[in-house]
A and B are shown apart, each in its own frame.
Chain A
Amino acid sequence: QAVLTQPSSLSASPGASASLTCTLRSGINVGTYRIYWYQQKPGSPPQYLLRYKSDSDKQQGSGVPSRFSGSKDASANAGILLISGLQSEDEADYYCMIWHSNAVVFGGGTKLTVL
């Protein structure tokens, strides 16, 4: 079982909200981790969006709009990237990341389609 699991794809309409999940493997408690989120558009390297551990421990990337935000669902053992007011330019791949056991682990990524 992968350390971080993300749905492979998600579709949403312009102006709507999209909730991208990043589920941690059983036995790895989401509450103890900072979840980092990156956006990657075709032909470009990833770009840092934000990190979230709690409402008192979070950081927005430089220049990242406030309609990108992080949260957690402890019952699902998952980190969440919420994108509100979807725009066509938000169509991209989104990756979650954690630091785990002295290494870095990425989720498999979610391809967000805005249509």
Chain B
Amino acid sequence: EVQLVESGGGLVQPGGSLRLSCAASGFTFSTYWMHWVRQSPDKGLVWVSRINSDGSSTGYADSVKGRFTISRDNAKNTLYLQMNSLRAEDTAVYYCTRETAAVFDPWGQGTLVTVSS
């Protein structure tokens, strides 16, 4: 069964840092592009970042560029999102998702990040 499990969310103060992880199983992780998408409470979906299959190419939404870093460890079948200089507006559920031919499927259950003092 294809599965994505996020972890690492929690409460952090403004200006702080957090690293999210996404453990993948049930498929050959190293052959897929991966993405992070977030959803603020009671709001819509917002794409955050993407990484290609070998980690050599990344992309970011303007809102997180320079503060967030996406990475992956194909030996550990794990995707990461390092989040620095966090702001209140970064508060959201963060989902990791696998991309296949521009389709996001499946999605993890998400991990909640709350930025508050």
Contact = CB atoms under 8 A, between A and B. Distances in A.
A joins B in a complex: yes
A115 interface: no
B44 interface: yes
Contacts of B47: 103-106
Interface string B58-71: 01010000000000
A47 B97 CA distance: 10
A103 B65 CA distance: 12
Main secondary structure of the interface of B (DSSP, over half): strand
Nearest to A6: B44
A-B complex: 7 closest residue pairs judged by Cβ atoms? A45-B107, A104-B47, A48-B105, A106-B45, A109-B44, A108-B44, A95-B45
B23 to A, nearest CB: 15
Chain B, interface size category, equals: 20 to 34
Of listed A51, A103, A108, residue having the most chain B CB within 10 A: A103
Nearest to A36: B103
B108 A45 contact: yes
A99 B33 CA distance: 14
Contact of B107 (A46, A97, A106, A108): A46
B75 interface: no
B43 to A, nearest CB: 8
Given A38-B104, A45-B110, A103 B61 contact: yes
B105 A95 contact: no
Contacts of B104: 36, 38, 46, 48, 97
B109 interface: yes
Interface in B56-89: 59, 61
Of listed A45, A61, A103, residue having the most chain B CB within 10 A: A45
A47 B45 contact: no
Of listed B46, B59, B105, residue having the most chain A CB within 10 A: B105
Given A102-B59, A103-B59, A104-B50, A61 B105 contact: yes
A107 interface: yes
Nearest to B110: A45
